[in-house]
Structure 1
Amino acid sequence: MDKRGEKGRQKIEMKLIEYRTVAFSKRKNGLGKKAKEYSNLTGEDVGFILFKQAGKQHSYVSPCIEKVIDKFHELKKNDSLQNHTDMSKTNVFEAFEDLRKEVQAFKEKCLDSKMSIDKHTLENRLKKFEAYKSRLDKIKKEIKGDVPGEQFKFISEVALDLEEMSS
């Protein structure tokens, strides 16, 4: 095969075209061919509308323009619904975050009340231990002379243990 100095397909620089009338009709035909080819290959509905500066319109649609326009409007409607859904999702996430914070505050409140219950219980126990200690001290004074040394030592140790537990 002989190549006769062909440059092949080259990238066209985007710039203002001087001969717009010729360029419009060439590009319109090329665009129509590509749209038809795309429609045949993929089985999709394709449509485009071109407006000349003079106000004249040219269009290509496969199979009919009403069907393509209806699909376009349906997609636009679905996009707006999707955006609304996304916004409601963010609202749901915000509501979830608020609810999570509320639950955390409730847990802390329950923990505080449980601690106060525990504190109250501990105070009651302390009072009981102090009562036991005072009774033991009273018994110690009453029997100090009657009890042998070992038993006295034992009672004193019990009293000290109770004292340490109450501290």
Structure 2
Amino acid sequence: MKRQNINKNKLVMQQSNNNRYIVLNTIKNIQGIRYMELKRLTGLSYGTLTYHLTRLEREGSIRAVRSARKSRYYTSDVDDLQADIIECIRNRICKDIISMILEYGAVTLDGLAKALKKAKTTINYHIERLRARGIIEGKRIGRYIFYSLRDSSILDRLGALLSS
């Protein structure tokens, strides 16, 4: 009877490690993934997923960036600026704005609104999000504000992230 319990415990431990491996690999492949998307992709229950996320976070394998209403999960090698960039480019409009800035160097609100076929208020909202995170900056030239990347280090990080 005791031998059977030991084998059962080993099986449970192997399954637990397998689940943790699945969670970690999913986070590695989809940086900035949110809890519900992670739950859907892994097929784990709430309790099991929460347990493994907590364990991985305590081990230092992942980190969670929590805001008012959402948590995003990243591998531990992702710094704050990369996390901000990843969060922004997971939004289609922000990704399109950044892509246009990369293509043209500097763009105006009017130019973005026409090219993306979105309202100026929508574009302005996303520009302000990008500015608040320190990803882009605006320079007034005459009556227009030209938006560009804040510095060249962001360009290096964006290249890899946008291609994925």
Structure-1-length-normalised TM-score: 0.26
Give 1 or 2: higher helix fraction: 1
**Bigger relative contact order (CA 8 A; separation at least 6):** 2
Structure-2-length-normalised TM-score: 0.26
Give 1 or 2: higher strand fraction: 2
